[in-house]
Structure 1
């Protein structure tokens, strides 16, 4: 592939994992919420699907965030990084394979919707844990496959590979199958998409498994595990004393929260507003198609202006996305928002990862440091969806209270109208965390970076 000319075999194999796991990012994260909202509609006593999905996402991220530092420590021992990577990757793959069964279950029968809904949420949480856990070790392999001066380029191209492969091809296959078979076969198409995600994820992980080895590691001697676990407190102190790293992680905690929340909640939000599912999925396909050229643009721009400047550009664009999302009511507006997201989604995540990778003082402890990086990334992903769910639920409650109703006494039609009207307030709440993260990134971080120089 001409696009990958100049990259080493290890770098290309590492980047192929983005091609592999991006199928989960687009199929499970964006299509599954639409299916779940459909199932919720058949429940006898249903809460807002958007709120419940936000809480489930937060629960999954909380589990990974709490485990991340310990997982990072174990991944730093010789030979362990790949074994742990495989374990979490298989948890995700198996969860997606089991997910393929749920659309074929008769959730329209009385009492079945609740069971299918619980199964969908449980498998979603498991697949997210597998995805996030494997990504912790995938990220820490970055220091094993490339040099610091090539890190921005390799990290960003990894996201670009994900866009042209895993994010695009499975979604396109789903849309074509749905078009050929017709809307009455939608449940079969969903089953196919979830099954394809599992197979895709597994097969395209093979290059990393074959060609990438752990080069930075600590020897596993007697008592080394206990010593490393006890040393987590010292790592916290080390991060705190490394002021630039500490401020960067706090800023990252907030701004990446908004990014992840928009990724996880976009289709649930659009579905709550009553937008056409097929049109939304086509808009998301456009995001994936545009993802690669914008990642390449971010690579070029970061070479000229620096990674820090381009991450700042991404934060500003996402503030605009959030404001635009509040006023979103029509499908064409969803398309506009999708294009806005496409400009920076891959770039801001990739350059954030490489910025942190270059800050790590001891490359042998990459897993440990990326474990803390994951804490900040995943705990932020708890706050964002929960904030959206809480804000929309509060707005719904206020509207019902004005009518003298509760969720128990209101009709299904009234609840649908209230949830639709409340959803934009949930999205607007993300401005709070973008402003905090952006403020730290633009006004506090430069002071400590300059001191370091």
Structure 2
């Protein structure tokens, strides 16, 4: 692959995991909500938002302890493997759900609940593995190359796991006439295999170089270290304020990712055309990631993350007014411009300000907890706002069908995401610079 020329074997093996886990990001996070909405009862978008929040809450509570465990010698790769395997196995079980009995409302409700459980478990596996994957960044490259390596990882994810499984799914449905349920079953099964197989380069070629010696009482030791790490983060005000800003703006990014197809489906947009638009996001993801690398070299990673926050503020407002399919295509292109760049540069920015490289897992555990706790707020905010709007609209127009009421309520739920972007943006643009000058 020509674009990987100049990268080391360890860097390429690390980046390949983005290629591996991106299949989950596009298949489970975008196709599964559409399937869920077809069999769920009322308020499918709200239920999906609450399930996403539940998954993120579990990961957020575990993240600091998991991160501290990953810093012990020889633990990081083993724990990475456990969570990766948990996520892939959940996807394998999801492959069975489209083939289950959906002949009655009771059966549909049972399958819908099973989908939510497997979705939560797969999300826990995805997030847990990512915590250790992020921690390996300091093991495979230098601070000077972090922006480039981190962003290229996201780029590989776009052209690999994010694009190929989705393209195969669309070809099965559109070109080969495979029925939707069988195609979904294939897509979820492929995600499991894809995720596992393309994780092997990291497992084979990446080693934990930054570590602390094993402790005879790892649980007690990890819990003790957490309090010290928290105090250390607070003492480094540039890191602390950055995490506060990250907490809010990445919440908006994650909420847009998790709720986009659920939102479009609620509005009654054609599922196949929506997925084609999302395929366009993946195709454009790599060139825009490469553009972010170039611009970060010229203007700095901090400036480019700020650009991403601004783009997402506009995306949230624009999404409120979506009513036609071409609107969704425009929205998809806007997301493609900044989705990978803002996540990749945020990761590398944090990696560079970690004060003790032997404890990257511990610090990335806190980075992860900020990201995951924030991911509870956005979907919950969407769920509550859309549910409240549903009640208001239904009371004012009792003759409207449930689908019509939900279609009118959903935009208000999406608009609520703007709140977290504004808080994150204010902290990032006006508070963080003061502390960056001091540290």
1:152 to 111, 122, 147: 147
Q: Is the 8 A contact 2:34 2:262 kept in 1?
A: yes
1:450 aligns with 2:422: no
Separation in 2, partners of 1:142, 1:151: 8
Q: Secondary structure at the match of 2:101?
A: coil
Deviation at 1:109, TM superposition (A): 2.2
1:376 maps onto 2:363 in alignment: no
Which residue of structure 2 lines up, in the alignment, with residue 431 of structure 1? 418
Residue from 71, 78, 83 that aligns with 2:78: 83
Task: Determine the C-alpha separation between the residues in 2 that align with 1:222 and 1:68.
Answer: 21
Q: 1:19 maps to what in 2? A: 19
Q: Could you tell me which residue of structure 2 aligns to residue 342 of structure 1?
A: 336
Match of 2:118 among 117, 120, 123: 123
Separation in 1 of the partners of 2:225 and 2:187? 44
Per the alignment, residue 68 of structure 1 pairs with: 63
224 and 423 in structure 1: CA distance in 2 versus 1, 3 angstrom threshold: closer
Q: Distance in 2 between matches of 1:278 and 1:182?
A: 13
Shift of 1:227: 2.6
In the aligned structure 1, how far is the partner of 2:196 from the partner of 2:125?
12
- 1:253-264 paired onto structure 2 within 5 Å: 253-264=247-258
Tell whether 2:236 aligns with 1:242: yes
Aligned to 1:43: none
Is contact 2:215-2:221 (8 Å) kept?
no
Count of residue pairs brought into register by the alignment: 439
* Contact 2:65/2:222 (8 A) holds in 1: no
Please state if 1:310 is matched with 2:304.
Answer: yes
Q: Is the 8 A contact 2:267 2:323 kept in 1?
A: yes
**Structure 2: runs of 5+ lacking an equivalent:** none
- d(CA) in 2 for partners of 1:222, 1:24: 36
SS at match of 1:181: coil
Provide the residue aligned with 1:35 in structure 2. 35
**Aligned-partner Cα distance in 2 for 1:221–1:87:** 20
Distance 1:434 1:110 in 2: 39
Corresponding residue for residue 166 of structure 1? 161
Cross-structure match for 2:138: 143
Residue equivalent to 1:98:
93
Aligned to 1:233: 227
> 1:98, 1:432 → 2: CA distance?
36
Matched, 1:205 2:192: no
RMSD over aligned CA atoms reads 1.0
Taking the aligned partners of 2:94 and 2:433, their CA distance within structure 1 comes to: 45
Q: CA deviation at 1:110?
A: 4.0
Comparing 127-136 with 228-237, greater Cα deviation is found at 228-237
